[in-house]
Structure 1
Amino acid sequence: MSGGEPIDWPDDGVILYDGVCIFCARWVRFVAIRDTAHRLRFTPIESPYGRRLAERLGIDPANPDTNAVILGGQAYLRSNAALAVLSTLPRWHWVRLLRLVPLRVRDVVYGLIARNRYRVFGRRDSCDVSAPWLAGRVIWDQPSDPD
């Protein structure tokens, strides 16, 4: 599963991210601030909900190599996920043009960043979802089983 593939998942507009990764936390902050309509929500892979979503998408929760997003009943991973998210933000629709860059090239660049994110940007000891600006937008767990 790489991007734009149908998924049977009860929630839409959910971004899965590595909650201990400082770069990933900055990505979430970037998106949350610009998503003025609050269409997107976030789930750290360290959460029970995030772990279930990761497993459903074939992502190893112990060693995540990608973020993901569910949009319009479609699952997007790697560079496709980043472009799908950015293209939903006001004034960021132009990033759709980056889909003209071959997927293989985009994913090589994405993979370079993903593999080196801890070394370059650092990591936390635990996932912090307490930021007031994220209130109500972080999914930690849901009582219903999404399978």
Structure 2
Amino acid sequence: MENSKQIILFDGVCNLCNGAVQFIIKRDEKDVFRYAALQSDLGKQLMSERNIDASQIDSIILIDPGVAFYIKSDAALEIGKQLSGYGVISSVLLWIPSSIRNIVYDFIARNRYKWYGKKEECMIPTPELKAKFLD
């Protein structure tokens, strides 16, 4: 695993989450991120190492090696700060308290399967993208 890369843990069966990962990949011009499904063995291991209770998290998780981890809207906005064209807006939105931002985040998270559907199994990356996904 590349220690300098930030790791995004995402719900591998969620269509909205998979779409978000595709969106991030297209705008990650500095190749900052690597990806793993929350449901994968590695995802579970990374959460366990950080004492993140998997049953409590209905979230995207950003792991910044050696620094911290972020969940929910904090994770989304920290990711946005690294994306071409989204840094300023993400930085501005971080000024809004997470308790307020997470009300919106949690509402979307609760309804994501109903609105966007889900897959039977985790996304399988194309051969071109395989190197960005961690096993």
State if a TM-score over 0.5 links the two structures: yes
Which residue identity is paired with 1:137?
K
Cα displacement (A) at 1:122: 0.3
Tell me what 1:144 maps to.
none
Report how many residues are paired: 130
- Say which structure is richer in helix: 2
The answer to whether residue 106 in structure 2 is matched with residue 101 in structure 1 is no
The answer to whether residue 129 in structure 2 is matched with residue 134 in structure 1 is yes
| Superposition pairs of residues 47-86 of structure 1, within 5 angstroms | 47-55=40-48, 56-60=50-54, 64-71=57-64, 73-86=67-80
Unaligned segments of structure 2, at least 5 residues: none
Q: Deviations over 1:65-121 (max 9, x none)?
A: 011101252111110000000001122111100012221110100000111111110
| Superposition pairs of residues 20-35 of structure 1, within 5 angstroms | 20-35=13-28
Give the distance between the partners of 1:133 and 1:30, measured in 2 at CA: 15
Percent sequence identity is: 30
- Give TM-score scaled by structure 1 length: 0.81
4+ aligned runs moved over 4 Å, structure 1: none
- Give TM-score scaled by structure 2 length: 0.87
The change in CA–CA distance for 1:45 and 1:121 in structure 2 (over 3 A counts) is same
Q: Which one of 106, 109, 113 corresponds to residue 114 of structure 1?
A: 109
8 Å Cα contact 1:68-1:78 kept in structure 2: yes
**Two-structure CA RMSD over aligned residues (Å):** 1.8
